[in-house]
Structure 1
Amino acid sequence: MFILLHQLSLPVMFATVLVICLAITWIVIGLVRLAIARGGYASDEPLPIRESIVGVCATIFGLMVAFSAAGLWADSLTARSAVQQEADAVENVLVLSSGLPADLQTSVRDSLKAYVAQVVSGDWPAMANGERIESPVFDRSGDILINTIGLVSRQTGANAQPAAYQPLVNQLLAVRHARLLRLSASNTGMSWAQWIAIWIISTTTVVAIAICNNYVPRMQILATHIFVVVVTSAYFVILAHDRPFMGQISVQPTAFLAVSAN
């Protein structure tokens, strides 16, 4: 379900989350009214529950959202940095390959161009669909890179001046390292424990608001719906940034496209 929400446009995502939150809120209001009536309390009298509980729950919800959002934005920065490092290392390999013998230069450049093409056409759609890092679809780009590293490494061992190839090997290893960081970043995001905790806290707060304002139906509806707008906004921001490579504001392969254009 979360993957489907991530792939929606931002307006549709916000509207979907709002509808879900409103549905839960009306269920809560109905259950609260039913429980109070079954408990023998008068519907037009305040219940002996302090409104301070609402403030406590709302504060905990805010802290939980802030904690989760900080982690998501850090993951997004890591993902963007990994993509840029990988593209820069690929570009460095292409520049350094100009000093190689003609046949080897052609092989290295062709392999790197095939790698970039596979990253853009294979890795990116897979990351956008939430594929795990163990997925075979990522093996294609990985195999191309490993073969290129092996090709240059064999030249390092056979050449009388291996130092001439060492910078090239180092940059290829940097590509591999940044690639692993990118794939790891694609699987980051909110854990199920965090989602469940935030949902429980927000639902508990709605219940507390509904109970405290039960004796004034209009105020009960107004107060719960104001909080629903706040909760929807928080969920929307988290969903929009939850996965670095999913959604409209996800990390794009712009750096790789620039390299392939050279």
Structure 2
Amino acid sequence: MMWFWALVSLAVGVAIAVALSTLLGRSERASSGTYNPQALSVIGSALLSSFILVTAFLIAGTWSTYNTDRQHTYDEARAATTAYWLAGKLPPTDRDRVRGELTTYVHQVISKDWPAMGDHQTSDQAYATLDGLRADVAAIHSADATAEKKRSDLAASLDDIYSKRLIRAADVNYDMPKLLYVALIIAALLLIAYPPLVGLTANGRNVVLLSGLGAMVGLGIFIVVALSHPYSEPLTIQPSAFRHALERFGQIDG
């Protein structure tokens, strides 16, 4: 339905433009084919403003999303570090088992999750490890109320990791509305095509200048597309937060 109304809007806009140009473009200047500098300036400015508006909106939106996604990785890694520290309050056998499984999970996030996220997926193996860890902590028998409080604190911390993992999984599949990309491409094509359409001669100097414009337009589109997929090349969010968590595990053990 969204695409239908988008196409209807485009058709209405084109129809109005054609009708107005047909009805109002009957002056002697229009009939003779000469150009009105003021009119061309207005149209050129409108095209440039349209491209800048769409591009700026997309870059701002995708950059904000990119930073938010990166922050979510640090939130999850921080929750894993908290759980690792809380596991130290358990009896030695349970402590070592929980810390070992947490370390395995973080390693799997780095080695399994990250490559899969480039394809808009997450690792089932990492999910299974975290689910098994939560089940193991739930099955720990507490000797007294104090021990139960320590176990429940750890269980709550693991639930926090799980929640933040779900947020990261949702981030992987988020994308800007496709309609915005269509608007960006249309604005870019009109902006580049406008100078030749209104009579820009194809001499060497003009071709170089128009090529520079095309390069900047292409770079803007590239930035938008790259920021729209934060877990894919070339602007991939790195698992730095989880590598830092592994370093903190070693510091806590020490």
**Shorter-chain TM-score range:** 0.7 to 0.9
Q: Which residue in 2 is equivalent to 1:91? A: 81
Counterpart selection for 1:196 from 173, 182, 192: 182
Deviations 1:82-109 (A, max 9, x none): 1111111111111111111222112211
Measure how far apart 1:251 and its partner are. Answer: 1.4
Q: Which residue in 2 is equivalent to 1:8? A: none
Structure 1 window deviating more from structure 2 (75-84 vs 137-146): it is 137-146
Q: Which residue in 2 is equivalent to 1:150? A: 135
Greater length-normalized contact order (CA 8 Å, ≥ 6 residues apart)? 1
Q: Is the counterpart of residue 73 in structure 1 residue 73 in structure 2?
A: no
Counterpart selection for 2:219 from 192, 213, 233: 233
Counterpart selection for 2:120 from 107, 131, 142: 131
Structure 1 window deviating more from structure 2 (49-58 vs 168-177): it is 49-58
Q: Is the counterpart of residue 250 in structure 1 residue 236 in structure 2?
A: yes
Number of residues paired by the alignment?
211
Q: Could you state the TM-score of these two structures normalised by the residue count of structure 1?
A: 0.73
Q: Which residue in 2 is equivalent to 1:170? A: 156
Moved over 6 A (4+): none
Q: Is the counterpart of residue 106 in structure 1 residue 96 in structure 2?
A: yes
Structure 1 window deviating more from structure 2 (87-96 vs 199-208): it is 199-208
Q: Which runs of 5+ in 1 are unaligned?
A: 1-44
Structure 1 letter corresponding to 2:57: F
Measure how far apart 1:159 and its partner are. Answer: 5.3
**What is the distance in 1 between the residues matched to 2:192 and 2:224?**
19
For the Cα contact (< 8 Å) 1:93–1:168, is it kept in 2? yes
Structure 2 letter corresponding to 1:233: L
- CA RMSD, 1 decimal: 2.2
Q: Could you state the TM-score of these two structures normalised by the residue count of structure 2?
A: 0.75
Over alpha carbons, which structure has the higher Rg? 2
Structure 1 window deviating more from structure 2 (200-209 vs 47-56): it is 47-56
**What is the distance in 2 between the residues matched to 1:248 and 1:223?**
28
Q: Which residue in 2 is equivalent to 1:23? A: none
Q: Which residue in 2 is equivalent to 1:42? A: none
Q: Which residue in 2 is equivalent to 1:55? A: 45
